């Protein structure tokens, strides 16, 4: 019986492994990494973030829904993600990475998505997956989903334990809070999308406003600020 040379076996295994890795890389589609930041600094829960020399705050909860991703080329839709909703949670790093398998080799120059849940989904009732009410992002059948949940503490807040809570949502007129975000995309395939909370906390005086817990005009206004805080670049 012919003997098999051990190093040939090792070489065959190595080539097989490399081929598998290449196959994986070729078929993973488009990956988008989401990173909430404050003045360009990565947000870490419970870590102090300085607004000025005398003013700082810390977050212990940051969750938000992104939905209905659309990829466009020269203003024309080339791929539309339907009935798909993503709950991003800073506490869960894996939730901040989205992969779009159908966008593999797709030629596009803009990406569009909603910050929040659209009204049609809201009136369809709570669902499973990221829309499951056990995720802590659902108010009531009447009020619908919380699109963005920001909770933390600041010395300026007059509330108990200097806490602040902003639960932004609402889908009934005139207080529809879902916002559409459209961004120009670099040519790379490994993208990072940031949401900078600096404009939000620069415009909110926590000494006067430290809590929003229901739909309304203020929730819509703050949602607009957050929607304008997104930017994208190649990682």
State the pLDDT at residue 28. 61
Structural domain boundaries in the chain: 29-234
Answer whether residue 235 shows pLDDT above 90: no
- How does the average pLDDT of the chain come out, rounded? 87
Residue 148 confidence class, pLDDT cut points 50, 70, 90: very high
Indicate if the alpha-carbon torsion angle 195, 199, 202, 203 is positive or negative.
Answer: negative
CA distance 52 to 167: 25
CA distance 221 to 122: 20
State the pLDDT at residue 51. 85
CA distance 167 to 12: 56
Tell me the per-residue pLDDT of 41-56, one tens digit each, with 9 for 90 and over: 999 999 999 888 778 8
């Amino acid at each position: 019986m012919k003997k098999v040379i051990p190093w040939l076996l090792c070489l065959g295994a190595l080539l097989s492994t490399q081929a598998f890795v290449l196959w994986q890389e070729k078929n993973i589609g488009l990956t988008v990494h989401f990173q909430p930041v404050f003045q360009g600094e990565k947000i870490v829960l419970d870590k102090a973030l300085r607004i000025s020399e005398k003013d700082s705050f810390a977050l212990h909860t940051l969750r938000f829904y992104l939905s209905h991703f659309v990829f466009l080329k020269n203003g024309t839709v080339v791929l539309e993600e339907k009935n798909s909703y993503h709950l991003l949670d800073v506490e869960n790093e894996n939730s901040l990475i989205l992969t779009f398998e159908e966008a593999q080799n797709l030629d596009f120059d803009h990406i569009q998505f909603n910050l929040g849940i659209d009204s049609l989904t809201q009136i369809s009732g709570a669902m499973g997956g990221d829309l499951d009410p056990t995720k802590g992002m659902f108010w009531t059948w009447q009020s619908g989903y919380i699109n963005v949940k920001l909770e933390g503490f600041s010395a300026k807040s007059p509330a108990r334990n200097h806490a602040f809570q902003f639960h932004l949502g609402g889908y009934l007129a005139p207080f529809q809070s879902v916002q559409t975000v459209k961004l120009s995309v670099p040519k790379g395939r490994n993208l990072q999308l940031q949401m900078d909370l600096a404009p939000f906390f620069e415009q909110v005086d926590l000494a006067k406003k430290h809590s929003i817990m229901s739909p309304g005009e203020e929730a819509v206004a703050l949602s607009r600020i957050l929607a304008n805080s997104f930017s994208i670049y190649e990682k």
